[in-house]
Chains A and B, each alone.
Chain A
Amino acid sequence: MIQLKVNGSARKFDGEPEMPLLWYLRDVLDYTGTKFGCGAGLCGACTVHVNGEATRSCVTSMQDAAGKEITTIEGLGARSEHPLQAAWKQCNVSQCGYCQSGQIMQAAALLKAKPKPSNAEIDAAMQGNICRCGTYQRIRQAIQIAAGVKA
């Protein structure tokens, strides 16, 4: 029996310990804000926080998530909207919107570690997250707004 916390709630899982966290979140808990994009840690659509670290849930097994605190996009601004979420709206970042959960979770971890990131630090932190619609310049702008740094 694997125990973990998801968005503050204690959970138990007795399925395959090899199952990636992504499919537990999506198929078992119906937290569908976390997206599948590649299944190989190549695109970042599935990014969640595991004990506060941005983590690709598609390549994180349930046994590796045992005992950890998981935060998904649904949990990020649950109490009050995260500044990134407000900045995303201000910049109208989304086109199709599919990758944006992962983008925001990745950016949130970045701002936690580096509250005033430089352009180079933003690019380094965000280059694992693909947006096929090509919203990158607005993603960068929204992160700068949320961080209160000038472009």
Chain B
Amino acid sequence: MTRIEKVSRRGFLGSAIGAGALVLGVQIEQAEAAAPAWSPSVYLGLEPNGTAVIVAHRSEMGTGIRSVLPMVVADELGADWQKVRVQQAVGDSKYGSQNTDGSCSIRDFYDAMREAGATARLLLEQAAAKKWNVPAAECKGQNHFVVHAKSGKKAAYGDLVKVASTLPLPKKTDLRLKPESEFRYIGKEMPTIDQADHTRGAGKFGIDARMPGMLYASIERPPVFGATLRSFDDSAVKGVKGVVQTSTIPGFKPPHVFQALGGVAVLADSTWAAAQGRKKLKVEWDLGPNGSFDSGREKTEILAKIKQPGKVVRNVGDVDKVFAEAGKIHEASYYVPLLSHAPMEPPAAVAEWRDGKVVTYAATQNPQAVQEAVAGAMGIKKEDVTCHVTLLGGGFGRKSKPDYVCEAAMLSKQVGKPVKVVWSREDDIKFDFYHANAGMYMKAALDDKGRPTAWLHRSAFPSIGSTFDAAAEYAMELEMGMGWVDLPYAIANHRAENLPHKNHVRIGWMRAVAHIYHAFAVHSFVDELAAAANRDRVEYILDLLGPDRQVPIQPVGMKYWNNDQSQDKFPVDTGRLRRVLEVAAEKSGWANKKPGKGRALGVAAHRSFLTYVAAVVEVEVDDRGRVTIPRVDVAVDAGQIINPERARSQVEGAAVFGTSLAMMGEITAADGRIVQSNFNNYPVARINEAPRVTHVHLVPSKAPAAGIGEPGVPPIAPAITSAIFAATGKRIRELPVRKSKLV
């Protein structure tokens, strides 16, 4: 439900919109009674000069969202896109959620954006009708003019603003949303507002932000999660040219949430001088209980643990009974290591503490989380934290966690000047909120066609919940709801179990989150079963999916997360999964491409973020065991698509992201310290390692918009290892692939 009102220009947007403008606010009405009465999340302003100012309240990290949502408003407004200015919103709860993650921006805001645009267009049409003394229904707003076809009269939007702003707001039932045939921007291949800037280096990111008189900080953080500062000696630091002072940041109090990790900061007049000063610091730490953490030992523990029964989180039929009846059994364990986000722009922010308030410019996916975390760190109200959102040089979930903004604010208060914090790449890799390492055990009983009659899967991993509750060891509903309890296959007996596991580093969400390891295990296992049955893999998956139907998901002891959407609106629909699989198979030439020497196709189909994706990956493995990926075909049913060009770009990028984590991504720890430090030992796919070309096939769909930023990732890793098995006979059960010898 949405509610639209005219709002005071000054009250809400200050100088962002010119005088005399008509300003509309839109509220996404929340079900909870506790929701604020009036917190409009979309602003549309029309200035008397005709400029339409559309506020983007979502963060731009490469998806195109800050262009695409305003295009929805502009389309319904009947705006000329050349006369639209996009204004990036500061963090403020009046916008509703600004947390740009979970592939939900279109899903959550598409309807509200359309209504905002349609409301303003109707007001302009009514203003023109009044001026010309004709019925409003005969007036039509298009391309920044209202036209009256019968008389041939035409008026520019800007000339109608004054009258329009005096009219009462139309009822929602009076709005005339455009039919699809009249869309000019929705569903079209519109370029984003930032493309041109990026070819000239003109986009402003968090790392580019400046405040007058600011100092640059480089921070030596506790080398082990939970370590505390014992002592430090900065006597050699002060001799470094450009260094102004050192300062300490206190450690966090559990749970760590988004608090700064603490440490010793060197402040200087340049990024370089601060980094040079930091090298001269001598710091002693009390390492605490994680000082002996070893990721290799942890892997052994997890792989042993998942052989034991765990907490039942979904149960259909009776797997124990079927397993006891003997027959053919297949089992396997899979492992995916810790991963780091490694956005090209490392965490970066500048902040100033002044008179009990903080102003910050930050590369953040969630400016309201910045307000809350900084307010908590400083002991002030969140309303006293102003967070300006810059462009993000990649986010992938890392920049939802604003510990780096807290650092800048805390240091600013201590030194009495604005402070800019830029993490080095080493800081980024060593102090991330890591994507969880996970172990998964799978067991199936098989009938004479090799089809499962019973299916058991267990998983154990440190939970994201540990970021919010230091004692958390079981998975959150969100994690189990990502490709685990929502298995869609037609199998009569099915049980999912979760085993507890303690975190030893910070755990966070990374693009596609728990789908990454769950999809790897589920689809690798399916691939093994198909191979064991000597059946075509596409045909085998279609058989597992069974007849087209909606599968009600009823976990045990928890809700089915389903991206916080109802299963009525967004059911698990095996027909949609079948369709994308068929399209990917057809477009890739699956039926005709038989494996050659060292060359083969692999396949996986997965529902995530309410979107259905099937990937067919072609690999070549040379006689030295080197893998290249000449081609990927991805079929996607994401419901309604608002910008097909940006949708394809997200899926192309997801194939590369999936390739990185499948082929080479691995974070390890020894003596509590993260071993990797930069792109030499935490490699990500380069142009010669990425899929040479990814063909994205958007499957036309009448379903509501689902999500596009993340769902391209999960099927890539299992499709790659499926292809490697077909090409070489080597079964890979542990990522990354580079650890396995293929010849």
Contact = CB atoms under 8 A, between A and B. Distances in A.
A137 B652 contact: yes
Nearest to A137: B693
A85 B200 CA distance: 8
Interface string A81-97: 00011001100111111
A93 B210 CA distance: 28
Contacts of A85: 199-200
Contact of A74 (B61, B201, B396): B201
Contact of B687 (A45, A72, A98, A139): A139
A134 B344 contact: no
Given A36-B422, A97-B62, A127-B686, A89 B270 contact: no
23 contacts: A16-B272, A16-B276, A26-B208, A30-B210, A31-B201, A34-B201, A38-B678, A40-B680, A43-B679, A72-B201, A85-B199, A88-B195, A94-B62, A95-B64, A96-B345, A96-B391, A97-B391, A101-B201, A104-B199, A123-B687, A131-B344, A134-B690, A136-B656
A96 B194 CA distance: 9
Contacts of B310: none
A113 interface: no
A36 B207 contact: yes
Interface string A124-138: 101111111111111
Given A32-B204, A35-B345, A97 B241 contact: no
Contacts of A96: 60-62, 343-345, 391-395
Given A23-B272, A33-B201, A95 B649 contact: yes
Instruction: Categorize the interface residue count of chain B.
Output: 35 or more
A74 B201 CA distance: 6
Interface string A57-90: 0000000000000001110010000001100110
Given A35-B393, A92-B192, A136-B686, 4 more contacts: A23-B271, A27-B270, A122-B687, A123-B687
A40 B204 CA distance: 23
Interface of A: 15-16, 19-20, 23, 26-28, 30-40, 42-43, 45, 72-74, 77, 84-85, 88-89, 92-101, 104, 122-124, 126-140
B514 interface: no
A132 B343 contact: yes
Contacts of B63: 95
A83 B199 CA distance: 11
8 interchain residue pairs of minimum CB distance: A33-B201, A134-B656, A98-B393, A97-B198, A96-B62, A95-B62, A73-B201, A134-B653
Judged by DSSP, the binding face of B is loop
B655 interface: yes
Nearest to A123: B688
Contacts of A131: 344, 656, 687
Contacts of B216: 27
B107 interface: no
Interface string B639-658: 00000011001101111110
A129 to B, nearest CB: 7
Contacts of A20: 272
Nearest to A86: B199
A136 B422 CA distance: 26
B522 to A, nearest CB: 24
Interface in B52-110: 60-64
Most interface-central of A28, A43, A84 (chain B CB within 10 A):
A43
Nearest to B208: A32
Contacts of A33: 200-202
Nearest to B348: A36
A19 B201 contact: no
B720 to A, nearest CB: 14
B657 A134 contact: yes
B424 interface: yes
Nearest to B196: A89
Contact of A130 (B270, B271, B679): B679
Looking at chain A's contact residues, the main secondary structure is: loop
B88 to A, nearest CB: 15
Contacts of A36: 207, 271, 345-346, 422
- Candidate in A98, A99, A138 with the most chain B CB atoms within 10 angstroms: A98
B425 interface: yes
A30 to B, nearest CB: 7
A12 to B, nearest CB: 16
B394 A133 contact: yes
B364 interface: no
Contacts of A101: 198, 201
A73 B686 CA distance: 22
B392 A16 contact: no
Contacts of A40: 425, 678-680
A23 B684 CA distance: 25
Given A38-B679, A45-B344, A74-B200, A130 B686 contact: yes
A88 to B, nearest CB: 5
Nearest to B60: A96
Contacts of B652: 134-135, 137-138
A30 B204 CA distance: 11
Contacts of A127: 686-688
Contact of A27 (B271, B344, B395, B684): B271
Given A27-B272, A136-B656, A94 B195 contact: yes
A121 B345 CA distance: 27
B350 to A, nearest CB: 12
B549 to A, nearest CB: 35
A97 to B, nearest CB: 3
A35 B205 CA distance: 10
Among A27, A73, A132, max chain B CB count under 10 A is at: A132
Contacts of A123: 687-688
Contacts of A124: 688
Given A74-B201, A94-B195, A96-B62, A135 B425 contact: no
Contacts of A31: 201
B692 interface: yes
B201 A137 contact: no
A33 B198 CA distance: 9
Nearest to A43: B679
Contacts of A128: 686
B24 interface: no
